[in-house]
């Protein structure tokens, strides 16, 4: 057998298979992705994206198959390449199935509000499960007994579990949080420790909260499971915006109410984040030390929208009160002095 038959032709077959895979991935599957994005059905995007990740491996498998069938290899060489072909096919299918699983999870996260599926914890569980099954199938295909391996994993798992109690506690607490679906990625939450912000991720060890200042607060999952958590997105993201105001005792309360409602209605209709169809109202609640106090109730679309609403309300109300001659008094206290006995 000449040098060309022994080396050049097999290398050419493998190189041709790889070039075919690159062509299919970069040209054919890129075109299929564009077509899939035009359809309303999103699962075709997920399947095509996942298949694109395995097309080079499949092309390489085809190259190995052609090599085995056409090159008249020795029995040992053909057997080795056949096993390599089987491992390659199983591994490529494992990669594609894993990507389909995580893609479906990401799809439901973006479509179904209320499904806590964007977390790296859930996606990593899917990957680990699929890859573990793939490894077991590969071992079985290679006629390697997995019983001793499972026994060793059982004993080793017990030892690791004893040494990683803290880590496992956080892991299972994370699973509990996911199953309860009371805290989800994207929710704005406040912990009983005072920390608050958007839930950015829930991984195997901790929950990552991004504060309004842009910093990350990383809280172990077991702490999240034991803390009191206020979720401002559940059962609905809307929030009441309450402003406390006080006016002078000499004020005409009917006029105060009318002017204040007019300003609050203007804020409700024009400020970004305010709920447009909500009718604001006020409630007088007490005779203060130096003012008659009341609360103005407005409504925002989400928790963070209240900050801009309050900002605009204070500016507009102050300007309107100045125009209408309504006084917001400073805190004052009257002290009566007694002369005592002569």
Residue 113: the pLDDT is 44
Q: Determine if the peptide bond prior to 235 is cis (ω within 30°).
A: yes
Asked whether the beta carbons of 67 and 13 are under 8 A apart, the reply is: yes
Residue 322: the pLDDT is 92
Q: What is the CATH number of domain 145-235?
A: 2.30.30.60
H/E stretch holding 196 reads strand 196-202
Residue 274: the pLDDT is 93
The sheet carrying 281-287 orders its strands as 239-247, 292-300, 281-287
Residue 93: the pLDDT is 87
Q: State the alpha helices, DSSP H only, in the chain.
A: 3, 9-23, 29-37, 43-70, 75-111, 120-141, 147-163, 165-180, 221-226, 253-270, 305-324
Asked whether the beta carbons of 199 and 184 are under 8 A apart, the reply is: yes
Q: Which positions of the chain have pLDDT values less than 70?
A: 1-6, 72-73, 107-121, 146-150, 152-165, 332-334, 340-342
Q: What is the pLDDT of residues 298-339, one digit of tens each?
A: 999 998 899 999 999 999 999 999 999 999 888 766 677 777
The CATH architecture of the domain made up of 239-324 is 2-Layer Sandwich (3.30)
Residue 115: the pLDDT is 44
Residue 117: the pLDDT is 41
Asked whether the beta carbons of 95 and 57 are under 8 A apart, the reply is: yes
Asked whether the beta carbons of 199 and 234 are under 8 A apart, the reply is: no
Give me the phi and psi of 134, to 5 degrees please. -60, -45
**Which residues on adjacent β-strands are paired with residue 3?**
none
| SS3 of 271-318 | CCCECCCCCCEEEEEEECCCCEEEEEEEEECCCCHHHHHHHHHHHHHH
């Amino acid at each position: 057998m000449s040098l060309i038959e022994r080396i050049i032709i097999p290398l050419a077959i493998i190189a041709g298979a790889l070039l075919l895979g690159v062509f299919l991935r970069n040209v054919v599957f890129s075109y299929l992705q564009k077509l899939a994005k035009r359809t309303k059905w999103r699962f075709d995007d997920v399947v095509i994206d996942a298949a694109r990740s395995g097309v080079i491996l499949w092309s390489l498998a085809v190259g190995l198959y052609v090599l085995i069938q056409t090159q008249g290899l020795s029995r040992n060489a053909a057997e080795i390449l056949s096993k390599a072909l089987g491992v390659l096919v199983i591994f490529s299918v494992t990669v594609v199935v894993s990507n389909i699983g995580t893609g479906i999870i990401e799809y439901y996260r973006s479509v179904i509000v209320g499904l806590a599926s964007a977390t790296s914890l859930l996606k990593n569980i899917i990957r680990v499960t699929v890859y573990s099954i793939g490894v077991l199938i590969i071992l079985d295909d290679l006629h390697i007994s997995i019983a001793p391996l499972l026994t060793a994993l059982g004993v080793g798992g017990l030892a690791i579990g004893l040494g990683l109690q803290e880590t496992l506690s956080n892991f299972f607490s994370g699973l509990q949080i996911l199953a309860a679906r009371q805290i989800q990625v994207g929710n704005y939450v406040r912990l009983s420790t005072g920390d608050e912000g958007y839930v950015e991720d829930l991984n195997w060890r901790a929950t990552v909260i991004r504060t309004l200042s842009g910093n990350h607060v990383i809280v172990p999952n077991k702490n999240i499971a034991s803390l009191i958590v206020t979720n401002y997105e559940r059962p609905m993201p809307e929030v009441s915006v309450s402003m406390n105001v006080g006016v002078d005792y000499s004020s005409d309360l009917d006029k105060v109410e009318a002017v204040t409602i007019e300003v609050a209605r203007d804020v409700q209709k024009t400020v970004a984040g305010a709920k447009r169809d909500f009718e604001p109202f006020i409630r007088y609640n007490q005779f203060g030390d130096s003012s008659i106090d009341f609360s103005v109730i407005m409504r925002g679309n989400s928790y963070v929208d209240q900050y801009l609403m309050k900002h605009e309300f204070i500016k507009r109300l102050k300007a309107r009160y100045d125009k209408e001659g309504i006084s917001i008094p400073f805190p004052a206290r009257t002290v009566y002095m007694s002369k005592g006995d002569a």
